[in-house]
């Protein structure tokens, strides 16, 4: 039986699973691996803090999460299809590991992030 997202360890579990699944993905994986050449040893702890802040009122996250996406978008356009795939993979990861109100909240927040950021980057491309 699955449980809800309750602890930082739960956040670490889904973030690690999500990025593990995303790396080999044909649409979004190359952005992390080739375009940005993300150092996951540095990136993942930031993502733990980010999602802990959003879901469990954590206070460790420091940063402007949109800024790196602006830089990536300058190198290779991030399209609505990228955000749709990111969201699909995020939901699949959460659903495979957890169930409950916090799991639903995580998916809702991911939807809001994907929608907002996709819109902003699409708008910038039209300027």
Give percent of the chain above pLDDT 70: 99
DSSP readout, 53-108?
HHHH------S-THHHHHHHHHHS---HHHHHHHHHHHHHHHHHHB-SHHHHHHHH
Q: Which band of pLDDT confidence, cut at 50, 70 and 90, is reported for residue 94?
A: very high
Assess contact for 44 and 19: CB atoms under 8 A. Answer: yes
Domains annotated for the chain, with CATH where assigned, are 8-126 (1.10.490.10)
pLDDT 10s digits, 36-69: 999 999 999 999 999 999 999 999 999 888 888 8
Q: Is residue 5 within 8 Å of residue 15, measured between CB atoms?
A: no
Q: What is the mean pLDDT of residues 18-33?
A: 94
Kindly state the tokens that stand for 85.
């795939």
Strand partners for 3: 98
* Cα 92-108-117 angle, rounded to 5 deg: 95
Q: Which residues contact 119 (CB under 8 A, 6 or more apart)?
A: none
Say whether pLDDT at 120 is over 90: no
pLDDT (mean) for 66-92: 91
Within a 13 Å sphere around the CA of 122, how many CA atoms are in the beta-carbon half?
11
Give which of 121, 106, 114, 127 is closest to 51, Cα–Cα.
106
């Amino acid at each position: 039986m699955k449980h809800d997202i309750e602890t930082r360890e739960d956040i670490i579990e889904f973030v690690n699973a999500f990025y593990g699944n995303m790396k080999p993905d044909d649409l979004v994986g190359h952005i992390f691996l080739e375009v940005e050449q993300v150092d996951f040893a540095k990136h993942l702890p930031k993502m733990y803090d980010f999602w802990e802040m959003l879901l469990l009122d954590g206070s460790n996250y420091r940063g402007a999460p949109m800024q790196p996406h602006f830089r990536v978008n300058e190198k290779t356009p991030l399209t609505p299809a990228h955000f749709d795939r990111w969201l699909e993979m995020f939901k699949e990861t959460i659903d495979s590991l957890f169930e409950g109100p916090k799991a639903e909240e995580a998916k809702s927040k991911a939807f809001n992030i994907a929608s907002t950021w996709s819109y902003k980057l699409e708008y910038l491309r039209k300027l």
